[in-house]
Amino acid sequence: MAYTETRRTTAQRVAERMGSYVREAVIQNEAGEKVKLYDPEKALVTLALMPDYVVDAAEQRIKEGVEDLNFDKLVLDKWGRRDVFSKRYVETPEVIFYRAALLIADGLSSHDQSLNYEETTKRVFEKLKNREIYPNTPYMANGGNKLLSERLRQGITENGDELRRAIPELKLEDMVTEVEQRAKVKEQLFACFVLDIYDDRKSIFETEADAAEIQASVGGTGFNFSNLRPANEMIHGTGGLTDGPIAFMRMYSNSLGQTMNQGGKRDGANMFMLDWNHPDIMRFIYCKSKDGEIPAANISAAIDYEFMKAVMAEGEDRFYPLKNPHHHPKSRSHVPKHYTFEQLKNSLNAVKLNKKAKASLLLSEDGTKVLSPWIFEGMPEDDREIGKIREGLVHLDAKKVLRHLAYGAWSNGEPGAIMTGTINDANPTHPRHFRDYIFEKDDTEAAALWNQIRGRDLSKPIEELVDEYINEKDEMGRPVNLPIGVGEMRATNPCGEKPLLGNEACVLGHVNLELMLKRSDASPSGYEVDWKKLEEDTKLMYNILDNAIDQNHFTNPDIEKTQKSNRKIGVGFMGLANMLFKMELPYGTKEAREFVDKLLIKWEEYTEEATREKAMNSGSFPNLKYSVHRKNGSRRNAIVRTIAPTGTTSTIARTTGGMEPDYASSYRRTTVQGTPIWVRNHVLEEKLDKYNLFAGKDIRNSLWEFIEDPTKGDGKIEDYQLTRADGESDEEFAKRKANLDKMKAIFSTTYMVSPKDHILMEAVVQRHVDDAISKTTNFRNNATPEEVYNAFIFAYEQGIKGITFYRDGTRKGQPLQVVKKGDKRERTEAREGGGLEVSVELGIGSDGGPVISLRRGEVEDLPEIMPALRIRQKTPHGTLVVFPVYDATSGIPELKETFASLGKSGEMVKADLEAIGRGSSLVLRLGGNEDHLMEQYEGIGGLGDESHEIHDTIRKDGRVMSLPDAFGRTIRKFKIIKKANLLGHVVTGKIKLSDVVNYVADMIRTGKMPGEKESSKDSPQNTLSTSNNNQNSSQSSANVKKPRIKIKCPQCEKAGIIVEEGCEKCSDAFGCGWAKC
């Protein structure tokens, strides 16, 4: 064979030129230890057995230094194969691209006999190497291993002696074992799966097992739990009570996300959904309000037109009844169709008798109003009342439910919303199309069905009979008469871009739009679209994905049947933001949307041509006659286009993710050796060469220093200012300022784009996508819950199929204020981190605030060394000094302990203070927080009076009446500093302490907490300045930005988490590259 002709020289060349690189590739692992990246002998042998063009590519990459070892680690962690014994990688990035190219070429050449397999492999390899296209992660990680193993086996047999001479330390028998292991890889190529769950113990556990198989092969799974009966309902087979869908979500999260991962690549990815009219919908909205409760899943409420119609309505029309999912007109006729007042009362009685039971809804004392057991911190108390009892049924207020949903999204980004009504409008195999097929009677099958249904009951109208036939379900809720692959979509994959039927799957791929441009002197931007290349790569990506359906190793025969009945795929793209940067079109503008619309009209045409061309040669999808497409000629796939999150894939491609705006113009990156550096957007570098911004002392580095300072630019060019150079004319300076304004507009990053413009751009893209989109609509930190509420409605009105919001500086797991209205009840919560369980009684105080009474519980152990802050407070008894001890390992400081001392006081007062400190520490270690301490201590009266000498900063914020009052005041000061995200800057000295003291005093005086509505002149970023005396004069204190709270990345534990494409990612994109999706 041609690829073995120069094997002798290739093996020697690899050993000589690549040997040191592979052997000396050392990285820093999560523990800070230096470890080898490659299994050197096996990696070198594998590379030596590749065609010369693969070796040339690897050698050229290393020689030119275009990419460093971070590139190897990113690609290998994402797609690479490890040796089963050494656990080190046995293939370089170029081998991965070649392996995938082998499988791609196999599919292409089998459908087109005119293609030469070897030439096609090389052509596809070049596309992958040049970052033009990438299929989804399972394809790149699993695909081509069997084909490559055959070539490796043949190469070892033919060239064993030469390999030993070139690589003396090689144990060929070990390499043979590795090749045999590679041949056993199950080539599961699909990324997206949706599995059905029914109200049956067997279904629940079998579905969990199916999901485990999928995730072991790098797939992600989505579920709608709405078929499960609500919590505290009777299980007639056992006489017990069910825990409801949330309990099973927690079980799935633990088993699929924490006890296993996706093919060794990352924790399992899941989407958990619940319908808007399920009786446990309120518990669902709050189920992720505390980090760690359901850690391994995104959650979204399934919303349809009926719910949104009620949201838009006024008066009684905004109330809707809840549905009993386990109702069946024949087998479970004893279960009412809708959730009743009696069912709710029985549920609350069960909670009183069983401390482990959870209530999803509460009743007012008179039994007429429905209440939420929870409200998010900051919600008006009026929002606790969420419904009423009407005609014996529980009705919820749609406006109130959406408000709780919006507050959740505002607090920590979840839940999102999936618009199932909009999705099913575009569902190509919805049952209504099967209904139309029956009535049209265009073939013998339809005619026979019509006659069969007609014969069921001649007294009924045929329309009624057909509807009964289509909607008939068994006891578990499974459709009885619908063909495989026909049905309603009720769930999506983990990131929301792929609504699917139960037991359906999809494979995804991405074209790099940034590389679909070519240089043009005729264009003001210097670029124009390369339509020929866009068509070529789009159709190539289409064929890769369609062929993958027949190449895939399915983990479940039911999934295979459903998938092949509709042949859904997801051709998508990445790099839209960088494309717009090059075209000099600001993301949030009408001009950008018009450009994207024209671009995607052609992109849509190319994919439609591809599916029709393929159908002419290989046949249409089997369900075509039952689908909306049945009158439009041949078609290979029911669905073709999807915009998925590209996460690390786009980082590997050196471009921006999916259709998202760029998160920042410069990212902090930690190299695999542990060295922090900055990676700058290469398009911005290019445009800086084009547009003159700098003169005199305004050198280019000053811009990058500004962008990369978290207290100034924080990754953005937005607030950078120029200063006039010595001797510079007004005209020259005005021209430079105009250029800067243009650059600021072009390079608008995520939070510079308004939420409305985020949604408008998504709406434009959605018009050309027959499936859905994974995208995050980002809000600045000072956005209000009302803005998020309105954005939900705006997204619905724009025809968006799914929406995820993320407010800058928030995190999943923000503690909610859990307050039970009326009687006390017990609640057990898992603390973030060590799994500590805290048992507390929650009640309501006379002022409506929470009252916490600690019961028996485990006290959290604290490390020997922890950080603390000193806060001094004048009191009627002398100067109080409190040291709040906090834990910042989770990304947001949590108060864990307090120490206090008091000068010039008697022993009795000191004893009182010690009791306060000890008791407060116990509350904190049992799971309490600052609010509980402030609630108990602030306002307690004592010896203070207006004539008592008070420190100046205290005089600004009112009297201190007693020692407990002063202690509560210091805790409030700590909370203000924490919520303003200033704690780290206080510790490191980046903020003037006098400014902090004044800011805290002002906040106490006004009764505000950071994050509440405040004028721009009162906001912390304008009242605090840095202590950097070398600050450039062009960067005034007005440009100092409030630092954002960052969650630590779970992989590198150094960088923070950002949220885009509906996906959490490490902000250290190049150094770490972790992405949840």
Listed residue (917, 1024, 912) closest to 970, CA to CA: 917
When pLDDT is averaged across residues 53-58 and rounded to a whole number, the result is: 96
What 1002-1010 contacts at long range (C-beta under 8 Å, 24+ apart), as own/partner pairs, is 1002/956, 1002/957, 1003/976, 1004/956, 1004/957, 1004/958, 1004/969, 1004/972, 1004/973, 1004/976, 1005/956, 1005/957, 1005/958, 1009/975, 1009/976, 1009/979, 1010/976, 1010/979, 1010/980, 1010/981
How does residue 876 score in pLDDT terms, banded at 50, 70 and 90?
Answer: confident
The class that CATH gives domain 192-425 is alpha beta
How does residue 950 score in pLDDT terms, banded at 50, 70 and 90?
Answer: very low
pTM of the model: 0.78
Residues 767-797 pLDDT 10s? 999 999 999 898 888 899 999 999 999 999 9
pLDDT of residue 669: 63
pLDDT of residue 609: 98
pLDDT of residue 986: 78
How does residue 1046 score in pLDDT terms, banded at 50, 70 and 90?
Answer: very low
- Do 505 and 193 contact (CB within 8 A), yes or no? yes
Question: Who's near 1030: CB < 8 A, 6+ residues apart?
Answer: none
Could you tell me whether strands 527-529 and 499-500 are parallel, antiparallel, or unpaired per DSSP bridges? unpaired
Q: What are the angstrom distances between the C-alpha of 339 and each of 241, 244, 332? A: 16, 14, 14
How does residue 530 score in pLDDT terms, banded at 50, 70 and 90?
Answer: very high
Distance CA 87, CA 261 (A): 16
Residues 446-467 pLDDT 10s? 999 999 999 999 999 999 999 9
When pLDDT is averaged across residues 622-630 and rounded to a whole number, the result is: 98
Listed residue (969, 985, 967) closest to 888, CA to CA: 985
DSSP characters for 76-90?
Answer: HHHHPPBPTTT-SB-
Judged against a pLDDT cut of 70, whether residue 844 lies above it is answered with no
Listed residue (935, 931, 940, 965) closest to 950, CA to CA: 965
When pLDDT is averaged across residues 876-889 and rounded to a whole number, the result is: 84
Distance CA 45, CA 41 (A): 6
pLDDT of residue 856: 37
pLDDT of residue 851: 31
Lowest mean pLDDT, pick from 84-93, 432-441, 548-557, 935-944: 935-944
Judged against a pLDDT cut of 70, whether residue 580 lies above it is answered with yes
pLDDT of residue 463: 96
- Do 96 and 108 contact (CB within 8 A), yes or no? no
With residue 1066 as reference, give the H or E element that holds it: strand 1063-1066
pLDDT of residue 604: 99
Locate 202 and state its tokens: 């067997």
How does residue 834 score in pLDDT terms, banded at 50, 70 and 90?
Answer: very low
Judged against a pLDDT cut of 60, whether residue 827 lies above it is answered with no
How does residue 258 score in pLDDT terms, banded at 50, 70 and 90?
Answer: low
DSSP characters for 701-739?
Answer: HHHHHHHT-TTTTTT-STT----PPTT--HHHHHHHHHH
pLDDT of residue 965: 87
Locate 851 and state its tokens: 């009252």
How does residue 512 score in pLDDT terms, banded at 50, 70 and 90?
Answer: very high
How does residue 153 score in pLDDT terms, banded at 50, 70 and 90?
Answer: very high
Distance CA 688, CA 682 (A): 10
Lowest mean pLDDT, pick from 577-586, 687-696, 842-851: 842-851
Residues 154-196 pLDDT 10s? 999 999 999 999 998 889 999 999 999 999 999 999 999 999 9
Locate 871 and state its tokens: 């806060």
Give 12 or 370, the one with higher predicted confidence.
370
Mean pLDDT for the chain overall? 85
Listed residue (200, 36, 57, 47) closest to 124, CA to CA: 57
Q: What are the angstrom distances between the C-alpha of 160 and each of 95, 165, 167? A: 19, 9, 10
pLDDT of residue 377: 84
Burial class, 896, CB count within 10 angstroms (exposed 0-12 / middle 13-18 / buried 19+): middle
pLDDT of residue 821: 35
Q: Which residues pair with 390 in a beta bridge?
A: 393
First to last CA, the chain: 40
pLDDT of residue 1020: 37
When pLDDT is averaged across residues 825-854 and rounded to a whole number, the result is: 30
Percentage above 70 pLDDT, the chain: 84
pLDDT of residue 322: 98
Lowest mean pLDDT, pick from 134-143, 527-536, 556-565, 1051-1060: 1051-1060
Give 1015 or 897, the one with higher predicted confidence.
897
How does residue 698 score in pLDDT terms, banded at 50, 70 and 90?
Answer: low
- Do 663 and 1046 contact (CB within 8 A), yes or no? no
pLDDT of residue 946: 36
pLDDT of residue 467: 97
Distance CA 343, CA 223 (A): 26
Judged against a pLDDT cut of 50, whether residue 1015 lies above it is answered with no
Give 934 or 364, the one with higher predicted confidence.
364
What residue spans define the domains of the chain? 2-98+117-131+142-183, 192-425, 430-476, 666-751, 867-1039
Judged against a pLDDT cut of 50, whether residue 321 lies above it is answered with yes
pLDDT of residue 4: 46
How does residue 31 score in pLDDT terms, banded at 50, 70 and 90?
Answer: confident
